[in-house]
Amino acid sequence: MALGADDYLSKPFNASELIDAVAAQLKKKERAQTQVAKQTSASETSVNVLLPAEIGMPLQTIIGFGQILSNPGSELSRQDISSAGQQISAASFRIQRAVDNFVLYSQLLALESDSDALNQLRASATPDVKEFVDARVLNLARARGREADITLTTSDGVLEIESEYLGRLVDELVDNALKFSSPGEKIAVMCVFSPDRFGLAVTDLGRGMSPDQLKNINAFVQFGRLTDNNVGLGLGLAIARKIAFLHGGALSIKSKMGEKTRVAIELPRKG
């Protein structure tokens, strides 16, 4: 059993017992395959719905303002033109982020089966983690006008992860906290080192998540309504979890509906 056997029969046994044991394992395998097929089908359905919505809504914004700006008869003030430019820029950024997340998640999935790439990935390091994390968090908060809501508790050290991937971990966790909490609600960001572990935790006092939502967190699973302008692709936490997993770590979530959410990542380190 320790070597991977699914079942065993003690001698003596007869033919009917053997057939029953084999049939039971075949049924078990069939159920597992059915479950995988359902999950795959659900993911494909989510992609087919979420991806067009996430790209289509900002694309409509770009097309609409482009038509206004290109209309020879439009009498627009400098302020109107500036506002239109800001709207187009924000919509373009949203499309770019959706495409980047989709591509990154696909790349992370491919890395799982490439041992050479995994070894190379884990050989990289980010020095001065405190400075890196502090700057990243404050830039995200500043972009949403919420610097006063951020509490930083960070310690310094060297971490065996590329700065690009550490940055994505910080971005996804903090961006979710900013997105699902309101201005004035505090967000605590903490990163700590121990001799063999690194921990990053982000806690917000926003809407929280239900037990069912926590159980169903996965790529392309989105809990907001499709008409919500902040729907997204549901890839943020999936990307963070996959990055942690590929570096030998893990992601955990604790939440209470209507009160708070705490997302934590643990990564191993060489000390």
Residues 208, 261 contacting (CB under 8 angstroms): yes
For residue range 101-154, what is the model confidence (pLDDT) as tens digits?
888 888 888 888 888 888 888 888 999 999 999 999 999 999 889 999 999 999
Q: What is the pLDDT of residues 54-71, one digit of tens each?
A: 788 888 899 999 998 888
- Identify the pLDDT of residue 226: 39
Predicted local confidence at residue 134, as pLDDT: 96
pLDDT tens-place string over residues 183-233: 999 999 999 999 889 999 999 998 888 777 777 666 444 544 433 444 554
The mean pLDDT value of the chain amounts to 84
- Tell me the mean pLDDT in the region 95-103: 84
Residues 173 and 179: their CA atoms lie apart, in Å, by 10
Please choose, from the candidates 71, 68, 98, the residue with its C-alpha nearest in 3D space to the C-alpha of residue 83: 68
Cβ 102 vs Cβ 233: under 8 Å: yes
Measured from the Cβ of residue 139, the count of other Cβ atoms closer than 10 Å reads: 13
CATH number of the 117-268 domain: 3.30.565.10
pLDDT at 25: 87
Q: What pLDDT is stored for residue 123 in this prediction?
A: 85
Q: Is the pLDDT of residue 249 over 70?
A: yes
Q: What local confidence, expressed as pLDDT, does residue 193 receive?
A: 93
pLDDT given at position 223? 47
Burial class (CB in 10 A: 0-12, 13-18, 19+), 46: middle
